[in-house]
Amino acid sequence: MIPINHPRRESLLIRERLVDGVKEGYVALQGLMAHGRGECFDYLIGEVTIDEALNAERAAVAALLLARNPVISVNGNTAALVPRDIVELAELVNAKVEVNLFYRTREREELIARVLRENGAKEVLGVGDDASCVIPELFSERRRVSCRGIYVADVVLVPLEDGDRTEALRRMGKTVIAIDLNPLSRTARAASITIVDNVVRAIPNMVKMARELRAKPREELEEIVRGFNNDENLRRVLMHISRRLMELAQRGVLLEFPKDSKTA
Ligand code: PTJ
């Protein structure tokens, strides 16, 4: 039970969702470690959506809306944290939803598909025999994808990804949108559009943007995508973190307490 006034209640509740997902059998144990790594970078960023993330989210939504065949790839952590928003985003940008796992088991595939269906998904690709196409030059279980989904997609959104598949999908000529709090990860550096934001903020932001952008003419969406430069954006993210840490180092980070009588 997390106390209602705990200063880090929200962050602890998010952890609980992942722990529940492990207990229910669809979040990989390794997903807990991956989340801890994400939390660490979120601390450095300031646990807010920075302007650079908003720019990337906007470009990503525009790219999804322009795509002929967009697909959103879902793993255990994403299913635990933002299942409803994933389904809503997919509907708004007309994307397919596909389960794709690094630690693939048939049971986890089916459980994740069930979570997505319970949250409104009509069709979930990538389960069982549906994942019968193979991404070339990729050796993890992530290489198996749906022939109607990621295999033929032109734009793929991959929240919480490992670098290998991002690189392999890029080699296939696809536009890869990654959501990764670590701006230095292979995924972040290999993606076409990298959103350095927590998936729990990024996907709801993208839902709001999709509602607004889907009414815009194609030329305006193309302009948004053309105006986005991933290399430049990632450099700005690193500058944001460095600047923030310099400011904190100069100002001090100690918390304030009433004066201790012994040390006063
Ligand atoms: O469900 P599976 O089997 O596909 O496995 C999923 C995990 C996440 C375990 C697997 O993909 C994995 O091992 O990922 P990595 O290589 O640890 O990378 C995860 C990346 O996601 C790291 O760079 C983290 O910083 C980042 N990350 C973790 N939590 C979040 C996050 N990024 C955004 N939002 C988060 N909540």
Helices (H), the chain: 9-24, 29-45, 51-66, 76-81, 83-93, 106-118, 163-171, 186-190, 199-213, 218-226, 230-251
Residue nearest atom 27 of ligand 1, based on CA coordinates = 38
Half-sphere exposure of 192 (CA within 13 A, CB side): 23
Q: Do 190 and 167 form a contact (C-beta atoms < 8 A)? A: yes
pLDDT value for 227: 98
- The Cβ of residue 173 has, within 10 Å, a number of other Cβ atoms equal to 7
Which fold, 51-238?
Rossmann fold (3.40.50)
Instruction: Name the one residue in this structure whose structure tokens are 């932001």.
Output: 205
Distances in whole angstroms, Cα of residue 18 to Cα of each of 34, 42, 212: 11, 17, 31
Q: Indicate if the pLDDT at residue 195 is higher than 60.
A: yes
Instruction: Name the one residue in this structure whose structure tokens are 């991404």.
Output: 135
pTM for the structure as a whole: 0.95
Q: Do 196 and 237 form a contact (C-beta atoms < 8 A)? A: yes
Mean pLDDT of the chain: 95
pLDDT value for 52: 98
Confidence bin at 105 (pLDDT 50/70/90): very high
User: Ligand 1: does its nearest atom lie under 6 Å from the Cβ of 105?
Assistant: no
Q: Which residues have a Cβ under 8 Å from the Cβ of 9 and sit 6 or more positions away?
A: 2, 3
Instruction: Name the one residue in this structure whose structure tokens are 């962050």.
Output: 11
Q: Do 108 and 131 form a contact (C-beta atoms < 8 A)? A: no
User: Ligand 1: does its nearest atom lie under 6 Å from the Cβ of 60?
Assistant: no
Angle between helices 51-66 and 230-251 (to 10 degrees): 160
Q: Give the mean model confidence (pLDDT) for residues 160-177.
A: 91
Helices (H), 29-142: 29-45, 51-66, 76-81, 83-93, 106-118
16-40: pLDDT as tens digits: 999 999 999 999 999 999 999 999 9
Q: Is 146 left (phi over 0), alpha (psi -120 to 50) or beta?
A: beta
Ligand 1 centroid distance, CA of 161 (Å): 6
pLDDT value for 6: 80
Q: Give the mean model confidence (pLDDT) for residues 75-83.
A: 98
Atom of ligand 1 nearest to the CA of 40: 25
- The phi and psi torsions of 79 (rounded to 5 degrees) equal -65, -35
Ligand 1 centroid distance, CA of 262 (Å): 46
Both tokens assigned to 239: 């500058």
User: Ligand 1: does its nearest atom lie under 6 Å from the Cβ of 175?
Assistant: no
- The Cβ of residue 51 has, within 10 Å, a number of other Cβ atoms equal to 11
Strand order in the sheet with 96-99: 96-99, 70-74, 155-159, 175-179, 193-195
Q: Indicate if the pLDDT at residue 140 is higher than 90.
A: no
